[in-house]
């Protein structure tokens, strides 16, 4: 059974944000509701949420790990600059 929630708590730092208890999915509604307090919050899984500050750190670390995983399997990013010659 779906349990309605009236606030979301950051699992990292404990910061809280109030959400409309009538809203079944505040993360989904964040795309349609203006001035939504949940903007920048991230749902990592059904019961794990991060505030904007902690989510930024999480995304940064996630990008590092993804880069490392690509290196492990031998895929590297190559930057190429192309200039036209006349």
Encode burial over 33-50: b for 16+ CB neighbours within 10 A, e otherwise.
Answer: eeebebeebbbeeeeebb
C-beta of 50: minimal distance to Zn ion in Å? 6
- Please select the residue that binds Zn ion; options are 8, 17, 38, 51, rule is CB under 5 A: 51
- Please select the residue that binds Zn ion; options are 8, 19, 38, 54, rule is CB under 5 A: 54
12 binds Zn ion (CB under 5 A): yes
The one-character DSSP state at 43 is E
CA 14 to the chain's CA centroid: 16
Residues that bind Zn ion in the complex, under the rule CB under 5 A: 10, 12-13, 15, 51, 54
């Amino acid at each position: 059974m779906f349990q309605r929630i009236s606030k979301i708590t950051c699992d990292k730092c404990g910061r809280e944000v109030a959400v409309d208890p009538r809203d079944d999915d505040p993360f989904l509604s964040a795309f349609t509701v203006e001035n939504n307090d949940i903007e920048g919050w991230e749902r990592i899984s059904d019961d794990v949420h991060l505030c904007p500050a902690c989510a930024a750190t999480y995304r940064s670390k996630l990008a590092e790990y993804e880069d490392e995983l690509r290196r492990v399997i031998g895929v590297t990013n190559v930057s190429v600059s192309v200039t036209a010659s006349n």
